[in-house]
Structure 1
Amino acid sequence: MAAVTPVPVTLSKDKIPTKKNVRDIIGTFLTEEWPSVDPETLIVSYHASFANAHCPVERPRPATGTSTETLKVFIKFHHEGQGSLDVFKPLAPTKHGEALLCHEYGRTGLGAKVYGFFKTQDGTLGRIDEFLDARNMEPEDVENPIIRADVAKALAVFHVLKTPLETKAVESYYEAIIKGLRSYHKMDKLKALGKEGGVSIDKLVDYDYGRRLKNVVDKLESIGGKTGWCIHDIQFMNVMVKNNPKDGESKVTLIDFEFVMQNYRAFDIGGHFMQKMFKWFDEESRIANCRKYTEVEKRHFCDEYARQWNQLTGDSDTADQVFLESEYGYLLAITFDIHNMLCFMDEEDDKDPLNLLGLNKLFDEFVDQYARLNLEDL
């Protein structure tokens, strides 16, 4: 798995694979039945995104006998120039590193199995994963205590995962994002794009996140906030809820590890609480039509997280400690989203009013939480 396997495939200039391309890529790793599949019988659904492209691929069941290989897989294509924002490139994993991380997570039994990591003759890197019989998590799902507990335990497992990635100081992340946030501070172009989109974001753009984020980090350090491998992009689209989990099996699987770096565990925990309010790919509103995480639900989550963390590490952390950390992590996660959305605006001249309204909601959440935690006195 550690090696990149060359595949006898050359993608076209638009990088969209043909059915034969897909069959030949998969057949390099699943060698018993896939190589002889008629490409025209495959069901392929290709999707491009800002970060990567991917496609689920399904072959028909054999006419006779029992299939010895999976009928459906998930291919992820990593195209040059897409993916990590420039400010995070020195910290985020390479595409190969991300594939190795997915492989290690899959071995825990919580993630999708990785069949192989490939490189086409035109230089495109990609990965073939087990196809998960699952759906994207919806905000209402975490109101179910069983699903909520499984997300908490999955994050604890991930945070202490032994990975092949180089461990880089948490401080490096904050140096990078504070520098990035300062580059957008008071930027006239962003204000103009907001006005063109019909939604003023002047207050958000003029707000000094860098200074305040430093206060949050100092506070987390003072209370002994613990660190681990954080996902960062912890939006609900990156948590899959299994349709038919086996008895005793976790109901959720975490996906999309493009931004995995060392950080305070509070980032992912508080970020998970915050993301319940957003549906970033919804066509009608980026703001979810549901209630916030309640404090009772947050404390239940933190109790389940602490139990799993302690079991894996031998620590004796309390739910109260994890909850306190998460209150500051809520702010860390908001600044990550605000930074990335402002970067997208600047690079793509984005003025989608739904995105702008989502940005203002993030701003309001940051201001309210910052004041509630009395951080302005620091």
Structure 2
Amino acid sequence: MATLTPVSLALPDNKIPTKKTVRDIIGTFLTEEWPFVDPATLTMSYHASFANAHCPVERPKPATGTSTEALKVFIKFHIDPGGGLDIFQHLAPSRHEEALLCYEYGRSGLGAKVYGFFKTQDGTLGRIDEFLDARNMEPEDVEDAIIRADVAKGLAMFHALKTSLQKKTVGPYYEAIINGLKIYHKMDKLKELGKEGGVNVDNLIDYDLGGRLRKVVDKLESIGGKSGWCIHDIQFMNIMVKNCPKEGESKVVLIDFEFVMQNYRAFDIGGHFMQKMFKWFDEESKIANCRKYTEEEKRHFCEEYARQWNKVTGDSDSGDQVFLESEYGYLLAITFDIHNMLWYMCGKDDKDPLNLLGLNKLFDEFVDQYTRLELEDP
């Protein structure tokens, strides 16, 4: 259900819901059994970031008979209605549009079902989804050809998804991010934060990422790069690997659509290849201890992607074409992550050395790829 439903309760000042509050919210949408569950019997955990929080909730199995409603659900709370990153506000979906997209994606059989979209009396927006019996993808998972192919096919189907969201051209996104990158170019505050954190980021801050990104976009346009609904935040935490997939069913599910908008499909494909090197939520290092995607693995991915894209759209794209686009998409995705990290660094005075080392790794990857593709002026 993607219609916004008011619920007659409010979250506490700290925004952490009680078991009773959670039970009552779920019971608004799953009305046969959940309203009568003793809140004390619920098992739940609460995890928050700066903009959102999520809360898996499970009730006991009935003592007799078979349950008619889900025993476990996943609640997402939007703590910050704006979500930060103002430069994308006019492009990214609203919370209601995101819920609608998730609902349509779930109905397609590709993702989690959406049970309800709600607003509490204190103004908090949230969504109740099917709980997926799955784990977050690890970088090593894509070294398995079957999982790698399922990710490729999943992205192709998502990029070509028919949705009620309004399509916009890719131009406004690149105007927004290029202008955003200009804000941080040569910013002394960022250089000083790097020094305070013990990691020199001067080379990155002095590098004209925005100007070079413009060249990448022009090149991608010249080779006929195609667009679709891109996730943008394609880090591996946003790909779930099912624990017990059914026969013939995809092993993966895509999640987290806060930044879904039209972009070159190469953004997500190249971004997926790049993200294999990072573990952004690891407490010991943001750089994954594994090898990069090999060219053979990339080409296999692109062949699987092209086959699925053609099946859905009726096009006749080759794996070579998708691979060529992905080479430039690799750079598009890096600039998205660098911009967002600089935004956070500047706004939060962040000088965590692990974040800074990850930032420099992104920068090194950009420079190496940009040079390899011979985009640098002679």
When normalised by structure 2's length, the TM-score is 0.99
Following superposition, the deviation at residue 51 of structure 1 comes to 2.7
1:36: which partner in 2? 36
Gaps of 5+ in 1: none
Following superposition, the deviation at residue 123 of structure 1 comes to 1.2
2:282: which partner in 1? 282
Letter in 1 for 2:60: P
2:269: which partner in 1? 269
Following superposition, the deviation at residue 143 of structure 1 comes to 0.1
The CA distance in 2 between the partners of 1:289 and 1:278, in whole Å, is 8
Partner SS for 2:376: helix
- Per-residue Cα deviation, 1:68-93 (whole angstroms, up to 9, x for no partner): 11100000011234524111001000
Letter in 2 for 1:32: E
1:316: which partner in 2? 316
- Kindly report structure 1 stretches of 4+ aligned residues shifted beyond 4 Å: none
- Per-residue Cα deviation, 1:87-120 (whole angstroms, up to 9, x for no partner): 1001000000000000111112110000010111
1:304: which partner in 2? 304
Following superposition, the deviation at residue 9 of structure 1 comes to 1.5
**Same amino acid, percent of matched pairs:** 81
Following superposition, the deviation at residue 362 of structure 1 comes to 0.3
- Per-residue Cα deviation, 1:150-195 (whole angstroms, up to 9, x for no partner): 0000000000111222212200000000000000000000000000
The CA distance in 2 between the partners of 1:317 and 1:65, in whole Å, is 52
1:352: which partner in 2? 352
2:95: which partner in 1? 95
- What are the equivalent positions in structure 2 for 1:1-378 lying under 5 Å apart? 1-81=1-81, 83-377=83-377
Residues 50 and 80, structure 2, Cα contact 8 Å, conserved in 1? no
Gaps of 5+ in 2: none
Residues 52 and 80, structure 2, Cα contact 8 Å, conserved in 1? no
Letter in 1 for 2:130: E
When normalised by structure 1's length, the TM-score is 0.99
Aligned pairs, how many? 378
Letter in 1 for 2:351: K
Residues 93 and 259, structure 1, Cα contact 8 Å, conserved in 2? yes
Residues 6 and 118, structure 1, Cα contact 8 Å, conserved in 2? yes
The CA distance in 1 between the partners of 2:235 and 2:243, in whole Å, is 19
Letter in 1 for 2:69: E
Residues 274 and 330, structure 2, Cα contact 8 Å, conserved in 1? yes
The CA distance in 1 between the partners of 2:140 and 2:248, in whole Å, is 22
Following superposition, the deviation at residue 277 of structure 1 comes to 0.2
Letter in 2 for 1:367: V
The CA distance in 2 between the partners of 1:328 and 1:58, in whole Å, is 44
Residues 84 and 259, structure 1, Cα contact 8 Å, conserved in 2? no
Residues 156 and 305, structure 2, Cα contact 8 Å, conserved in 1? yes
The CA distance in 1 between the partners of 2:366 and 2:134, in whole Å, is 32
The CA distance in 1 between the partners of 2:138 and 2:2, in whole Å, is 34
Letter in 1 for 2:117: F
